[in-house]
């Protein structure tokens, strides 16, 4: 600043001197006489102008020489100068070019090249907050976990890169299987940026995997507050977590707290079948049958399910089949045309030994949507109505190789589960189990087709015609095994008789229906062997 002011003052002084000299020359007329010691110099007007111009050029050259000397002194002293700025710009240009090449190599999947370019960029730029990020990600790409960890840790001291470094370390720990450390890193990262959706998802999954349902509910609430989850999805998933929390509390022996948690979960998501079942059983422990019935009816209206029917049967465990059929009518009227309703009504009528009503309830369900359950029910109806054993076995044979019907299927990977759970055992996805028909061929038949010979014997091989022989005379063939040459043998079905014994009405069990011995499916399967 001072040097610039001096240059301005010097420029003004030179202009003033030139103006004064020009005016003096014009007034003198004869030129200028300069006496220096014993020597006298006479300068004309033209000579004065030329000398003035030469003086200006000389002053400018002298000024530049002095400036260069000062800049050289400052450069040697380490101060910022035009020369240092020029060299810095050159280094910076080469550094950013190397960094750009490193980022392009990282994007292209060339991890080693990205590391080399980033190391070169660091030499020119001295910007570790940029180069360390590329080095860490490239080292992860090539599997150099040590180098990646060191690069991420160097960024923990910088407030601008601490969150990114925590996420990088968390990702590495997850890849190594160190979920405990990954959980702590996720908590620290979320404390820095509470609204970061991906970190929320990782923390929620880690907490659910560890069974920390309370912590998972807090994380889920934070996710909903930050706007990363719709309100209806939040209520459903919070109900899932509350249900798991209730199960753990119940396992610890605190039935009262577990009951309250299950009821709260059911209020959050009335269509969550396991929550409705647990809430109903919680009400039953207090003798509140009305509330238990209300919870189950509400869930059945949304999604009929066999577990709901089983819990509804537990409300009156000592009723007769006829009484149960009458009480279940309030439940069945909610979704009269649903497949589960028709199957349940048929089972209840079978238990009450009203087989025509059971057949009417089934309608054409066994033909339009044959499942193991619907075909087994048809076998029981045929047995109850006194049909031939071969007819009964035909229904059972079809049941063995038919689909099982709706099951708990993961929407993410398609895995089939015997029971509902908050997390898929196959892919680890959260809240993805849905009660639905699995894809065709998704899983094997529960009994396998190899059991068919236990029910229906395979047909005997066809006998070839034999040329008549004169001697000896053929023995007469028994009538029961005579086979015409052009006839195909029919399958021989050996059916031991199954006695039907009249039974007095008995109290119903805790299942939705009570099967009399006359149509016992297990007995029919054993008879098939």
- pLDDT of res. 58: 84
Are 238 and 220 a contacting pair, CB within 8 Å?
A: yes
Per-residue pLDDT of the chain (529 residues; tens, 9 = 90+): 666 777 778 778 877 877 777 676 666 656 666 777 777 767 666 676 777 778 778 878 887 888 778 777 776 776 665 666 666 788 889 999 999 999 999 999 999 999 999 999 999 988 899 999 999 999 999 999 999 999 999 999 999 999 999 999 999 999 999 999 999 999 999 999 999 999 999 999 999 989 899 999 999 999 999 999 999 899 989 999 988 888 887 777 667 877 888 888 888 888 889 999 999 988 998 899 999 999 999 999 999 999 999 999 999 999 999 999 999 999 999 999 999 999 999 999 999 999 999 999 999 999 999 999 999 999 999 999 999 999 999 999 999 999 989 999 999 998 999 999 888 989 888 889 999 998 865 444 444 333 333 333 333 444 444 444 444 444 443 333 333 333 433 443 343 444 434 344 444 443 444 433 344 444 444 444 4
Determine how β-strand 32-36 pairs with β-strand 416-417: unpaired
Alpha-carbon gap, residue 446 to 436, rounded angstroms: 17
Cβ neighbour number for residue 483 with a 10 Å cutoff: 14
Residues constituting the chain:
529
Alpha-carbon gap, residue 99 to 526, rounded angstroms: 76
487, containing H or E segment: none
- pLDDT of res. 87: 67
| 281 Cβ contact list (under 8 Å, min separation 6) | 262, 292, 311, 314
Written in H, E and C, the secondary structure of 457-510 is CCCCCCCCCCCCCCCCCCCCCCHHHCCCCCCCCCCCCCCCCCCCCCCCCCCCCC
Alpha-carbon gap, residue 146 to 450, rounded angstroms: 55
- pLDDT of res. 185: 96
Strands annotated E in 344-410:
407-410
Q: Which of 100, 93, 84 is nearest to 125 (CA)?
A: 93
């Amino acid at each position: 600043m001072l040097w610039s002011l001096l240059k301005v003052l010097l420029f003004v002084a030179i202009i003033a001197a030139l103006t004064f000299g020009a005016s003096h020359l014009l007034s003198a007329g004869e030129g200028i006489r300069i006496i220096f010691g014993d020597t006298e110099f006479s300068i004309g007007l033209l000579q004065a102008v030329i000398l003035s111009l030469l003086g200006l050029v000389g002053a400018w050259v002298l000024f530049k020489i002095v400036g260069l000397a000062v800049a050289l002194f400052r450069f040697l002293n380490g101060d910022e100068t035009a020369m240092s700025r020029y060299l810095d710009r050159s280094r910076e240009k080469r550094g950013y070019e190397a960094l750009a090449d490193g980022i392009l190599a990282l994007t292209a999947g060339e991890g080693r090249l990205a590391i080399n370019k980033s190391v070169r960029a660091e030499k020119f730029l001295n910007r570790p907050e940029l180069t360390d990020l590329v080095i860490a990600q490239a080292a992860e790409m090539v599997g150099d976990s040590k180098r990646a960890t060191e690069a991420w840790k160097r960024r923990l001291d910088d407030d601008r890169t601490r969150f990114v470094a925590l996420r990088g370390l968390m990702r590495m720990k997850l890849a190594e299987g160190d979920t405990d450390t990954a959980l702590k890193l996720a908590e620290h990262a979320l404390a820095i940026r509470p609204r970061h959706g991906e970190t929320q998802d990782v923390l929620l999954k880690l907490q659910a995997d560890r069974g920390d349902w309370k912590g998972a509910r807090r994380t889920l609430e934070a996710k909903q507050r930050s706007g990363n989850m719709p309100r209806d999805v939040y209520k459903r998933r919070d109900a899932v977590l509350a249900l798991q929390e209730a199960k753990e509390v119940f396992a610890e022996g605190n039935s009262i707290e577990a009951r309250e948690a299950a009821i709260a979960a059911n209020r959050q998501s009335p269509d969550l079948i396991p929550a409705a079942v647990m809430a109903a059983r919680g009400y039953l422990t207090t003798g509140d049958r009305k509330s238990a019935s209300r919870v189950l009816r509400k869930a059945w209206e949304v999604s009929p399910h066999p577990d709901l029917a089983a819990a509804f049967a537990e409300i009156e465990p000592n009723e007769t089949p006829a009484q149960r059929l009458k009480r279940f009518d309030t439940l069945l009227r909610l979704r009269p045309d649903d497949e589960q309703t028709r199957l349940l009504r048929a089972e209840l009528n079978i238990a009450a030994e009203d087989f025509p009503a059971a057949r009417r309830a089934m309608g054409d369900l066994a033909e339009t949507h044959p499942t193991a359950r619907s075909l087994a029910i048809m076998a029981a109806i045929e047995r109850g109505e006194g049909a031939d054993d071969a007819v009964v076995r035909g229904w059972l044979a079809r049941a063995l190789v038919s689909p099982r019907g709706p099951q708990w299927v993961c929407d993410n990977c398609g895995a089939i589960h015997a029971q509902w759970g908050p997390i898929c055992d196959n892919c680890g996805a959260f809240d993805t189990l849905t009660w639905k028909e699995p894809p065709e061929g998704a899983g094997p038949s529960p009994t396998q087709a190899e059991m068919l010979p236990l029910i229906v014997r395979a047909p005997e091989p066809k006998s070839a015609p034999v040329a008549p022989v004169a001697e000896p005379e053929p023995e007469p063939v028994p009538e029961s095994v005579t086979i015409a040459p052009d006839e195909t043998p029919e399958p021989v079905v050996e059916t031991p008789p199954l006695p039907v014994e009249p039974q007095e009405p008995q109290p119903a069990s805790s299942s939705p229906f009570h099967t009399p011995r006359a149509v016992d499916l297990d007995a029919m399967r054993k008879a098939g062997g």
